[in-house]
Amino acid sequence: MDPVTKVDLKQFARYCLDKGLMNRNTGLASITAVDKLLDGRGDLDDISELDIAVEAVQFNNRNPGRMSPGSLMTYQQRVSKLVTEYVRYRDNPAGYKVQGRGSSNGSARKMAVKAKAQGEAPSTQVAFASSPPPPPPMQQMATLATEHALALPFPLRPSFLAQVVIPRDLTKEEANRLCAFIQALGHTAPAEVPQ
């Protein structure tokens, strides 16, 4: 994937605002989310491979209690969506359309009227644009980072992010005890019996 920078994301959001492709409040809120959530990254750092959920946890660790878990989740979703939309735009600028939340200008109502006129039962479903599912909630972890505690993500497996909450003033002795505890939790996979 080509690099994506904070500058790219903010310029893209402004472009969408200028062209009327994005709601003004959404666009401005997305720019704010990029600035706040990725404040630990340089303007020209490549963020295309970042895990935005991890960035949200790190932001919360740097700024404990500054944002509620709900706000943190909203910022995370806005940044993720902006990255996705920017990449879609970059890949096909001529065919780009912002993926919205659902049908607009009453098209669902128009379809129901048309179906009724043709003697069909009107559909109660509204078509939504396909978009990636939202990232899993991290609210529980976000609330654990406080002035005295630090929530740390650890990518244990490709599809599993382990999380540990430690005191900000963790001593070497405490770290060794924690390591021993975690080692006691692990087990070796049973050997497969050849048949």
% of the chain surpassing 90 pLDDT: 23
0.85 surpassed by pTM: no
Nearest to 1 by CA among 83, 96, 81: 83
Give dist(CA 77, CA 54) in Å, integer: 12
Q: Per-domain residue ranges for the chain?
A: 6-185
- Mean pLDDT within 120-127: 39
**What is the structure's pLDDT at 99?**
72
**DSSP strands (E only) in the chain:** 149-157, 160-167
137 pLDDT above the threshold of 50: no
Q: Where does the pLDDT of residue 194 fall: very low under 50, low under 70, confident under 90, or very high at 90 and above?
A: low
Burial status of residue 76 (CB atoms within 10 A of its CB: 0-12, 13-18, 19 or more): buried
Question: Six-digit token pair at 126?
Answer: 């509204």
11 pLDDT above the threshold of 90: yes
Q: Residue 49's CB: how many other CB atoms inside 10 A?
A: 8
Structure confidence by residue, pLDDT tens digits, 93-117: 888 887 765 444 444 445 445 555 5
